[in-house]
Structure 1
């Protein structure tokens, strides 16, 4: 296999990584970062991140699989500290029909390769 291979799809070892943008209560974008998906459903996800967040914070999460990308809005429901990481429970609040289609594909891939 060629180590310089250019792939047009997500690698399964990076499937658990998501990027997100934090939006404050005034609607301003404040923090862009990445987190690791620990669990996901059609209603929300459990995300491991490096900094604490408060219940009620809003995240704009980018979910992608292959060449499909979708932004999903979610609200932090809870945040628990584990060692030097934080585990967020996030409930999705705004998903388009196309977003639902991509999310379902992502959930299947996540559950297949975890």
Structure 2
């Protein structure tokens, strides 16, 4: 359960013990000398986090090194991340993010601005 202290939000760990063990196993495979196995392990680790609605920042807890204005994840990944944090969204935000999930094109600059703002709030 998450708690709020002033403006600081404490969240539970991103991964439970079973999920952490699975990710550790996948990351351990990155040390193989076989290029194909290494690439497959990296892809599987990334897909595992996406399936859980997490980013590497959620798991590692490191600050973003991406310059301001450049999203570090695609808009689709942002939508998925926002939907995974559904309890953190207002009703208006949830309606907006759900509408983007059905969106067939890249969001407009105005939609993207709002999506990034929502994503940064729920991801921090």
Fold match (TM-score > 0.5): no
**TM-score, structure 1 length as denominator?**
0.25
**TM-score, structure 2 length as denominator?**
0.24
